[in-house]
Amino acid sequence: MSGYAEMLRQQAREALPPVEGEVPAAGLHEPVEVIRDRWGVPHVYAEDVHDLFFAASYVVTSERLFQQDFLLRLANGRLASMLAELALPLDRFFRTVGFNRAGRAIAAGYDDLSREIIQAAVAGSNAWIEGMPAKPVEYDVLGLDPQPYPDGDEGAAYAAAFSVFMSWILSTNWDCELLRAEIADRLGFEAMQALFPAAATDPAIVVAGKDAGGDGRRSALALLGAAPLPPSGQGSNNWVVDGSRTVTGKPLLANDPHLLAALPSLWFEIHLTAPGIDVRGVTLPLVAGVQIGHSDRIAWGFTNVGGDTQDLYLERLNGDRTAALYEGVWEPVTVHREEIEVRGHAEPVVLEVPETRHGPVLDSYLVGVQSLQTVPLKPERTYALQWTGLQGAVAPSTTFRLATARTMQEFREALRGWHCPGQNVVYADVDGNIGYQCTGAYPIRRKGDGTVPVPGWSAEFGWDGVVPFEELPWSVNPAEGFLATANQKIHDDSYPYLIGKDFLPPHRARRIVQMITAEPKHSKETFARMHSDTVSLVARDIVPSLLEVEPADDRQKEALSYLEGWDGDLRADSAAAAIYQVWCKRLAEAVLLPKMGRELFDHYYGRRQWSISFQYEVLPNILRFPSATWFGAEGTAARDDVLRASLDAALRELTSKLGEDMAAWTWGSLHRITFASQLALLPGLDELLSVGGVPWGGDEQTVCQGMYEPGSGGYDVVVVPSWRQILDLSDWDACVGTHTVGQSGNPASEHFADLFPLWSTGQYHPLPYSRAAVEAAAESTMQLLPG
């Protein structure tokens, strides 16, 4: 380790939070006990709601202050105050969409419970900031001092903007609308339809919603411009089985949300106990309460619905852009003045954001997963964005009411407040019930299906409210004895409302159902195997078409021999998986790049934020039914010419990266996973601030998530199972789980990366819940005292 890195490690030791003894914390009503277990998870025992969320926030901030600060600035369009001009394009985009403005409006509508929770949480964070022994090392590197968070209404708005930002990450249908419009312009309407096939309708058994209705500082600033900006949401899996399908006779529930590979983890494990509440699970470092987990009676897990909550309106503005045409009348445009503080600038950068009746007028869009990039929109078109997420997000009281619900009916009622982002929620309780509820606000459109931009000057494309909560898809105790979601279409064709058209492909959900129905009785061990499954149903569909090609030479013949009889398992040690994945990427380039050009190709395939859908939804069809549109001529002969050429390109790439010996090739040699902090790119800090570099199996559409970004030039994993839980309703102390790296964001902490060996090998740690189990696993005990 470099001398600079070792110096920083020593500074990091000085910033470690106290975990033993009595610690004063001004703002508490009564003493709060914090027991940390051997995995660094705090179990917080308080006497009232205020003290519970004060202490919880105090503890989370003590472990994750820089992460909190970074994400709050990002969400509020204030990252340039930390990273100078490098962050200005992102700040401009987020201020244009208006997460900060939406945060103010949403926080102004909070109920009393939400205000109490958020004010206590801000006070707890500030109590740590004001009394911490030393600042986190990231601030030393950047030459900054952490500042207390704003309190009162401003603090509530500042925090609410992060909820809006998380809703945005999980609500990106507008990106598909732009892509459809651009591809239709370039390739024609029929080609656009082929590249965006309709979501598959699955058999009823797969449908969840069955019941519908310095030098160092300068280097840091320069390199952070290319660093990952978490979080990025890509999907998730959850499933639940009732007691008829388990060895215990009680339900089992599993969940693994998929998010950007980030260090520290986006999740923080915590256990919160006070009169009327006893909940354990994971929280986001900026959100008060437990988002995914269990109480003493119920358990739940989330996946993203991927419903369509956004529409782009093509606007007609007058010459000076002060008015927009609507039903023959020029309506004045609202202009929001945004002042963006830029580090090193004496004066703020002023941004004026026009807003029509539909929403803010956009001037750019985002591409990328590992690092976000803003791309200017074509100036000849003016788009305004309407999005339900600008009207509502998840209030702190909603999370509290989920944690204190006692029955499925109470749980569903609490979910009524889960406005955005829409989530697929699976449920189980100690009485043996299981259930599913779709949440979210989905607009009822007068005309159109939300797939392409629509005229903003006509009332016929407006919204008439949202789908009533009572009529969102749901299910309780289905006859099959299980429920599963993985971002697929969650209703059948008889459902009367439009939830969306851009659900993710159904392959993960189908594979989960295959594995559920293959076992007569399930246990934690069978669920753990399901979490680690890397079988690709897509590969099983595509490979027979690839094997139809006549090889051009012995090298191609050898490669095809690895695919013959292959079971489609994308194991990290599989040569067949490596050949298949690289061949598919080279096929995409051969088919799409000449027609789309580099920029549109990267947007659609190379750096798309949600799904590499070409491989999973389009490629199987065009291989089976080859046409001149994609292969230059009709029939299999033209297709096979492209297959042979792209196979040659794949073999050249594999040989250059992995050597001549095909038997030594493995998917994991290309497809590796590393967790790195924003500062790990600095010379000498990689060893201090990164974890991993291990081979990984799977891809985006395997149950064990391993999405890579093909436009990045490699196959490194960018989206991972960020938290795995298996909840056993027969015994809460028998539950297991783990997130990716560790509880602490401090590289000197023993809990900085201690979870990675478990997570990376498909193992879990116990989740002690009862007081006896917590004390048996205790590593330290601290008393927070009113100061």
Instruction: Give the chain's length.
Output: 787
The total domain count for the chain is 2
Q: Would you give the DSSP letter of residue 618?
A: I
Report whether 359 contacts 387 (CB < 8 A).
yes
Residue 351, in any domain of the structure: yes
Average pLDDT over residues 337-348: 97
Mean pLDDT (whole number) for 186-194:
92
pLDDT at 157 over 90: yes
Q: How far is Cα 301 from Cα 249, in angstroms, rounded to an integer?
A: 20
Give Cβ neighbours of residue 625 (< 8 Å, ≥ 6 apart).
none
pLDDT, one tens digit per residue, over 6-26 is 889 999 999 999 999 999 999
Q: Provide the sign of the torsion angle of the four alpha carbons 181, 185, 188, 189, taken in this order.
A: positive
pLDDT tens digits for 35-90? Answer: 999 999 999 999 999 999 999 999 999 999 999 999 999 999 999 999 999 999 99
Residue 534 pLDDT > 80: yes
Give me the pLDDT at residue 300, please: 98
Q: Does 367 fall in a domain? A: yes
Report residue 235 as tokens.
Answer: 């999907």
Query: Residue range 673-683: average pLDDT?
Result: 86
Which pLDDT score, from 0 to 100, does residue 57 have?
A: 97
Instruction: Indicate whether 556 belongs to any domain.
Output: yes
Residue 549 lies in a domain: yes
Distance separating alpha carbons of residues 464 and 476, to the nearest angstrom? 29
Q: With bands split at pLDDT 50, 70 and 90, how would you rate the model's confidence at 743?
A: very high
In a domain, 626, yes or no: yes
Of 630, 650, 665, the one marking the end of a domain is 665
C-alpha to C-alpha distance for 276 and 286, rounded to whole angstroms: 23
pLDDT of residue 225: 53
Nearest to 349 by CA among 162, 142, 99, 78: 78
pLDDT at 204: 75
Task: Please indicate, yes or no, if residue 587 is contained in any of the structural domains.
Answer: yes
CATH of the domain at 592: 1.10.1400.10
Among 36-50, 63-77, 221-235, 467-481, where is mean pLDDT lowest?
A: 221-235
Query: What mean pLDDT do residues 155-177 have?
Result: 90
Domain end, chosen from 388, 417, 443, is at 388
Q: What is the CATH number of the domain that holds 364?
A: 2.30.120.10
Q: Where are the alpha helices (DSSP H) in 465-546?
A: 507-518, 524-531, 537-546
Structure tokens at 712: 């990045």
Percent above pLDDT 70 for the chain: 97
Structure tokens at 220: 């840091």
Give the pLDDT confidence of 697-740 residue by residue, as tens digits. 999 999 999 999 998 879 999 999 999 999 999 999 999 999 99
pLDDT of residue 458: 96
Single residue among 615, 632, 665 that ends a domain in this structure: 665
Q: Is residue 693's pLDDT more than 60?
A: yes
The answer to whether residue 203 sits within a structural domain is no
- Token look-up 């009533």 returns 468
Q: Quick check: 510 and 537 in contact, CB under 8 A? A: yes
Which of these, 463, 518, 467, 515, lies nearest to 491 by C-alpha position?
467
Of all residues in the chain, what percent carry a pLDDT higher than 90? 86
Kindly report the CA angle at 758 between 755 and 762, in degrees rounded to 5? Answer: 135
- For residues 713 and 720, give the distance between their C-alpha atoms in angstroms, rounded to a whole number: 19
**How many angstroms from the chain centroid is the CA of residue 61?**
21
For 201, the token pair is 């309708």
> Is residue 72 a contact partner of residue 156, using CB atoms and an 8 Å limit?
no
pLDDT the model gives residue 449: 93
Compute the distance between CA of residue 67 and CA of residue 260 in angstroms, rounded to an integer: 14
For residue 677, being part of any structural domain is answered with no
> Strand pairing of 233-241 and 717-721?
unpaired
The tens digit of pLDDT for each residue in 349-371 reads 999 999 999 999 999 988 887 77
Residue 95 has pLDDT above 90, yes or no: yes
For residue 557, the 8-state DSSP code is H
For the ranges 65-79, 601-615, 755-769, the lowest mean pLDDT is seen at 601-615
Parent domain of 579: 536-569+575-665
Handedness of CA 515, 518, 523, 528 (dihedral sign): negative
CA distances (Å), origin 58, targets 21, 84, 743, 763, 769: 16, 29, 14, 30, 21
